[in-house]
């Protein structure tokens, strides 16, 4: 019957054969289906490879640039689990000791790529041990089916323990098991020391300890210690100085003076910056070496940190220094932005007094209050401006070479100091600025009315037209004040004197500075003959000398045309000073006249100066004629027939055979009705001190005060913005930061940006005002903030590593690159969650400098010294100690009856233990390889 059925089946066509009720018993249970899903997922990951996974949906793991992960969610029973595959995009050798940027599991177990399976729960760990074992077995079976040797881990126990168990199939015969756990408190005393940790590792061997003591080959040891500089104590942050106690009969006592890290930095006068470097971490590592006994481990614990093979320095930088621009941090940039806000508000009023009124409730566009500091603060500011700063500053010492490109005021000048005080007065709101300006102008007027020198102003008789107009006006006022005071003193000294010559002789030495640099033979007005001449001329010469006034000395090789007298250079009045607006008014007036009359109008504008020079020349040379004046004042208008470009006569002291010298006036000066000749005929011989001043100091001084008192608010704020930016940049430019070329370039770029941006401050159209102020100037404040933060960082690292310039430069280079990427000024992009981390190798000759950062604990810090772990550095124990013990063995082909060829050997890490922690916190991870 069976045979008949078999024959019948063979005769049926294949197309009509259909299996009935086929069941795949390999997936009968949920556990088997769970394993199948894991296996399928792992096969897909294997097939894709790292590059394709990154292009698809792999995510970077935190700040680890080379580690990525993909995940897969699966359900087993009533629970859901997440399977994560961690892999490196660029494979690197992990045999390098203490490689940076490793996952905790990579560091603990020495693996490269791995799987982690955990429940989808709040804790992400498994508290049930049977469940953990079953879950790990499922992954191990799936990986074995795939022929994959990835290690797999399962988190277990309480999350704070950071415990894991794991397994890895290493091929045909070897299996590695992993286990990690943590002792969070009450660490046994013996595990605080290297000797006890070493004995813990030995206890994990399968063979007896005595056997290992006899055969101590194969145990290797490497260690990494991390130290952190101690923080400042609240009661110890300062220096002690000896001060006399007046209430204790002159006895001296030590007084603690609080000091901050930036007390000697240039910005410390205005604000205190938070130290961008909170401290340092020092990482000392010992390379892998063989260990033979517990005694040797004890010696390592007592060894000096200077004996470590490598030192690495890591600066500790707070979060706000790396997350991006936070212009709310108090500094020049934050106050400059408040000043820009005040500029925007200043257009709402026509007069400063309107903004200073308490009834005016302008709130600076709602961005700041309008509170004015109390009178005591106002008095202190005015005292600093007009009394403490009464000394004359040295010009140009603190300025950058590009500083004058910004149309502001020099840093040490009166107006620049006013602008800097305004940044902090009442937090730079428009009302506070207005109140301070009104009081400032009142103090300036008091100095003028009392003929007191204007403080913080350099009076060199020149108006700096590259500065802002307010500074030019103050320069003019300082000059007028000095002239007014000089005239008053001169008038007082002339009382009771009948002869002006006596008064003049007192002023002669000072006034000769007007002709300084001219090639004159200085001969005083003593009435003596400067040369020997014939008796006929001698009487005339003595007569002329007796009436000569205001001579600065004899001009070499020049004589008067109508006599044999030497020509004297007159002492002349200073040319009139003019501010920028005065020059503009003059040019506009000239342009208003037609071309035919332009020459005559220009002569009219110069009439006072020219008339003064002619009067002085006549007084110094009583026998002079118009041609003599031209030869001295305008040599180009005298056409000499002698081959001498200067028109001099080469006088040798003897009577000339041909006199007067041959020559004539130019066509311009010899034409009929020449205005110069008419003026010469009209002026009288008056020395400079006898003349009416060209510049009336009283009139010009009152004009300056009128300008300051009637200045429009927006005109004041525009000049304050330019000056404040320039002065703030000049202060930061004084910072000492060593030879950091990037910082020098950054500062130079800042000056150029400020100059370029502020050039259009007065030129913007009314319709573009809001856009320019709220966009362009605000962006300029942010650019200033970036440079300010970089400069503060550079100053901090420079003073801490002053004697290790290579380390200093390296740390700043890395911070500069990171900050540039964070600010978007670099072509290299940066992720938002990337953290700043710098680790610089310390050379042997730099170790003393780094060691000085870890100052020994003071008496007040003695309670911090635990002294339980050893390996002290200047009295401080490590913040963290990490140790790796490992044993490697060469496994032959017949070991444990394996099927490998007899002549093949494989180096296997049979045991590995990672220990990390302190005296109160210990993390231990162990991996053991066995032969199946």
- Least confident among 84-98, 516-530, 807-821, 918-932: 516-530
Where b means 16+ CB within 10 Å and e means fewer, 887-923 reads: bebebeeeeeebebeeeeebebebbbbbbbbbbeebb
- Alpha-helical (H) ranges within 270-388 are 294-302, 332-346, 352-356, 375-383
Beta bridge partners of 553: 569
Supply the pLDDT for residue 528: 32
Give the residue with greater pLDDT, 930 vs 238: 930
Euclidean distance between CA atoms 784 and 267, whole angstroms: 14
Euclidean distance between CA atoms 193 and 790, whole angstroms: 43
Give the residue with greater pLDDT, 217 vs 120: 120
Is residue 908 scored above 50 in pLDDT? yes
Q: Distances from the Cα of 386 to the Cαs of 445, 482, 532, 704, 721, in angstroms? A: 12, 17, 58, 18, 22
Which candidate, 172, 174, 167, 164, places its Cα nearest to that of 108? 164
Which candidate, 566, 571, 567, places its Cα nearest to that of 551? 571
Check if the beta carbon of residue 634 is closer than 8 Å to that of residue 606. no
What would the 3-class secondary structure string for 482-544 be? HHHHHHHHHHHHHCCCCCHHHHHHHHHHHHHHHHCCCCEECCCCCCCCCCCCCHHHHHHHHHH
Structure tokens, 267: 């910005």
CA 78, chain centre distance (Å) = 59
pLDDT band at 235 (very low <50, low <70, confident <90, very high): very low
- Least confident among 47-61, 437-451, 905-919: 905-919
Is residue 256 scored above 80 in pLDDT? no
pLDDT band at 245 (very low <50, low <70, confident <90, very high): very low
Q: Where are the domains of the chain?
A: 27-214+887-931, 332-485+700-806, 550-686
Mean pLDDT along residues 10-14 = 44
pLDDT band at 846 (very low <50, low <70, confident <90, very high): very high
pLDDT band at 653 (very low <50, low <70, confident <90, very high): very low
Is residue 338 scored above 90 in pLDDT? yes
Supply the pLDDT for residue 226: 93
Check if the beta carbon of residue 89 is closer than 8 Å to that of residue 50. yes
Beta strand 163-169 with 174-183 is antiparallel
- Least confident among 19-28, 97-106, 126-135: 19-28
Supply the pLDDT for residue 768: 74
Supply the pLDDT for residue 692: 83
pLDDT band at 588 (very low <50, low <70, confident <90, very high): confident
Supply the pLDDT for residue 170: 80
Supply the pLDDT for residue 642: 57
Supply the pLDDT for residue 411: 94
Supply the pLDDT for residue 543: 55
Structure tokens, 54: 């990154």
Supply the pLDDT for residue 77: 76
Supply the pLDDT for residue 520: 46
Give the residue with greater pLDDT, 34 vs 63: 34
Supply the pLDDT for residue 533: 36
- Least confident among 42-51, 486-495, 673-682, 705-714: 486-495
Euclidean distance between CA atoms 418 and 717, whole angstroms: 12
Supply the pLDDT for residue 211: 42
Supply the pLDDT for residue 892: 59
pLDDT digits (tens, 9 = 90+) for 147-181: 899 999 999 988 888 899 999 988 767 889 999 99
Task: State the average pLDDT for the chain.
Answer: 79
DSSP conformation class of 385: I
pLDDT digits (tens, 9 = 90+) for 261-270: 999 899 999 9
Percent of the chain with pLDDT over 90: 42
Euclidean distance between CA atoms 883 and 107, whole angstroms: 11
Supply the pLDDT for residue 731: 96
Supply the pLDDT for residue 921: 85
Euclidean distance between CA atoms 297 and 613, whole angstroms: 97
pTM for the model stands at 0.78
Supply the pLDDT for residue 455: 93
Is residue 599 scored above 60 in pLDDT? no
Mean pLDDT is highest, among 215-229, 309-323, 681-695, 760-774, for 681-695
Is residue 598 scored above 70 in pLDDT? no
Q: Give the count of beta carbons closer than 10 Å to the beta carbon of residue 587.
A: 10
Is residue 727 scored above 80 in pLDDT? yes
Supply the pLDDT for residue 905: 64
Check if the beta carbon of residue 733 is closer than 8 Å to that of residue 400. yes
pLDDT band at 605 (very low <50, low <70, confident <90, very high): low
Euclidean distance between CA atoms 731 and 744, whole angstroms: 14
Mean pLDDT along residues 32-45 = 92
SS3 61: coil
Mean pLDDT along residues 591-614 = 65
What is the edge-to-edge ordering of all strands in the sheet holding 520-521? 520-521, 551-559, 566-570
Q: Give the count of beta carbons closer than 10 Å to the beta carbon of residue 486.
A: 14
- Least confident among 185-194, 533-542, 588-597: 533-542
pLDDT digits (tens, 9 = 90+) for 441-452: 999 999 999 999
Supply the pLDDT for residue 617: 94
Supply the pLDDT for residue 105: 93
Supply the pLDDT for residue 269: 93
Check if the beta carbon of residue 378 is closer than 8 Å to that of residue 436. yes
Supply the pLDDT for residue 771: 81
pLDDT digits (tens, 9 = 90+) for 506-532: 334 333 334 433 444 433 333 333 333
**What stretches of 549-660 adopt beta strand conformation (E)?**
551-559, 566-570, 638-640
SS3 732: helix
Q: Which residues have C-beta within 8 Å of that of residue 839, sequence separation ≥ 6?
A: 100, 283, 312, 313, 314
pLDDT digits (tens, 9 = 90+) for 565-578: 889 999 988 778 88
Is residue 296 scored above 80 in pLDDT? yes
pLDDT digits (tens, 9 = 90+) for 684-705: 999 988 888 888 889 999 999 9
Identify the sign of the CA torsion 260, 266, 270, 273: negative
Percent of the chain with pLDDT over 70: 74
Is residue 470 scored above 70 in pLDDT? yes
Q: Distances from the Cα of 818 to the Cαs of 323, 569, 688, 772, in angstroms? A: 10, 67, 67, 30
Supply the pLDDT for residue 825: 61
Structure tokens, 7: 């024959």
Is residue 41 scored above 80 in pLDDT? yes
């Amino acid at each position: 019957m069976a045979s008949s059925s078999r024959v019948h089946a063979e005769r049926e066509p294949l197309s009509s054969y259909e299996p009935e009720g086929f069941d795949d018993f390999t997936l009968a249970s949920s556990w088997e289906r769970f394993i199948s899903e894991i296996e399928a997922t792992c096969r897909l990951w294997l097939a894709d490879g790292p590059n394709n996974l990154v292009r698809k949906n792999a995510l970077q793991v935190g700040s680890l640039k080379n580690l990525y992960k993909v995940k897969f969610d699966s359900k087993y029973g009533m629970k859901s689990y997440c399977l994560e595959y961690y892999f490196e995009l660029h494979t690197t050798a992990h045999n390098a000791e203490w490689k940076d940027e490793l996952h905790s599991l990579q560091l603990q177990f020495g693996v490269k790529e791995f799987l982690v399976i955990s429940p989808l729960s709040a804790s992400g760990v498994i508290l049930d041990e049977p469940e953990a074992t079953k879950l790990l077995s499922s992954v191990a079976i799936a990986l074995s089916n795939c022929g994959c040797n990835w290690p797999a881990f399962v988190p277990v126990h309480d999350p704070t323990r950071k415990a894991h168990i794991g397994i890895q199939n290493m091929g045909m015969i070897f299996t590695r098991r992993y286990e990690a756990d943590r002792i969070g408190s009450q660490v046994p005393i013996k595990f605080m020391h290297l000797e006890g940790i070493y004995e813990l590792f030995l206890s994990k061997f399968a063979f007896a300890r005595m056997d290992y003591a006899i055969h101590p080959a194969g145990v290797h040891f490497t260690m990494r210690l991390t130290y952190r500089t101690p923080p400042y104590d609240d009661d110890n942050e300062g220096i002690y100085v000896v001060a006399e106690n007046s209430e204790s009969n002159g006895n001296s006592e030590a007084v603690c003076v609080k000091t901050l890290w930036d007390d000697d930095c240039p910005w410390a006068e205005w604000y205190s910056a938070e130290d961008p470097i909170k401290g340092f971490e020092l990482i000392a590592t010992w390379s892998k070496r063989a260990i033979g006994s517990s005694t040797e481990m004890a010696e390592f614990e007592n060894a000096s940190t200077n004996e470590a093979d490598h030192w690495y320095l890591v600066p500790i930088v707070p979060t706000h220094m790396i997350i991006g621009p936070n212009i709310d941090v108090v500094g020049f940039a934050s106050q400059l932005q408040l000043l820009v806000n005040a500029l925007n508000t200043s257009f709402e009023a026509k007069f400063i007094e309107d903004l200073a009124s308490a009834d005016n409730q302008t709130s600076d566009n709602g961005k700041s209050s309008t509170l004015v500091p109390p009178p005591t603060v106002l008095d202190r500011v005015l005292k600093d401006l007009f009394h403490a700063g009464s000394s004359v500053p040295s010009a140009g010492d603190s300025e950058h070479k590009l500083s004058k490109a910004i149309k502001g005021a020099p840093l040490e000048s009166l107006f620049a100091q006013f602008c800097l005080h305004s940044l902090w007065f009442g937090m730079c709101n428009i009302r506070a600025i207005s109140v301070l300006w009104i009081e400032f102008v009142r103090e300036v007027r008091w100095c003028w009315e009392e003929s007191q020198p204007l403080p913080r102003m350099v009076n060199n008789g020149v108006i700096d037209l590259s500065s802002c107009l307010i500074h030019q006006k103050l320069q003019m006022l300082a000059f007028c004040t000095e002239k007014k005071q000089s005239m008053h003193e001169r008038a007082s000294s002339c009382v009771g004197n009948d002869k002006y010559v006596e008064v003049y002789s007192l002023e002669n030495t000072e006034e000769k500075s007007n002709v300084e640099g001219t090639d004159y033979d200085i001969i005083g007005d003593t009435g003596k003959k400067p040369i020997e001449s014939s008796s006929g001329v001698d009487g005339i010469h003595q007569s002329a000398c007796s009436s000569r006034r205001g001579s600065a000395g004899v001009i070499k090789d020049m004589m008067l045309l109508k006599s044999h007298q030497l020509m004297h250079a007159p002492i002349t009045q200073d040319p009139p000073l003019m501010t920028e607006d005065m020059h503009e008014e003059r040019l506009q007036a000239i342009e208003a006249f037609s071309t035919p009359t332009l020459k005559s109008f220009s002569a009219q504008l110069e009439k006072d100066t020219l008339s003064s020079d002619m009067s002085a020349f006549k007084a110094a040379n009583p026998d002079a004629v118009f041609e003599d004046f031209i030869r001295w004042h305008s040599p180009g208008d005298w056409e000499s027939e002698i081959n001498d470009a200067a028109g001099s006569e080469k006088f040798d002291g003897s009577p000339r055979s041909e006199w007067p010298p041959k020559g004539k006036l130019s066509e311009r000066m010899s034409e009929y009705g020449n205005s110069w000749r008419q003026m010469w005929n009209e002026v009288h011989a008056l020395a400079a001190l006898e003349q009416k001043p060209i510049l009336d100091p009283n009139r010009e001084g009152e004009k300056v005060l009128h300008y300051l008192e009637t200045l429009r608010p927006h005109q004041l704020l525009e000049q304050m913005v330019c000056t404040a930016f320039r002065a703030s940049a000049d202060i930061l430019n004084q910072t000492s930061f060593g030879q950091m070329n990037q910082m020098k370039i950054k500062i130079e770029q800042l000056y150029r940006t400020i100059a370029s941006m502020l050039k259009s401050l007065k030129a913007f159209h009314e319709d573009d005002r809001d856009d320019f102020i709220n966009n362009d100037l605000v962006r300029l404040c942010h650019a200033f903030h970036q440079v300010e933060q970089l400069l503060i960082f550079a100053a901090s690292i420079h003073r801490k590593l002053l004697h290790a310039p290579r380390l200093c430069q390296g740390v700043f280079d890395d911070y500069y690159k990171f900050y540039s990427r964070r600010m978007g000024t670099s072509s290299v992009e940066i992720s938002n969650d990337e953290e700043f981390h710098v680790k610089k190798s310390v050379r042997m000759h730099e170790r003393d400098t780094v060691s000085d950062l870890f100052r020994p604990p003071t008496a007040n810090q003695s309670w911090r010294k635990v002294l339980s772990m050893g390996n002290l550095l200047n009295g401080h124990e490590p913040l963290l100690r990490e140790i790796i013990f490992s044993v490697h063995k060469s496994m032959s082909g017949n070991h444990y009856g394996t099927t490998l060829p007899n002549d093949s050997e494989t180096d296997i890490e049979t045991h590995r233990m990672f220990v990390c922690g302190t005296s109160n916190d210990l993390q231990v991870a162990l991996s053991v390889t066995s032969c199946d």
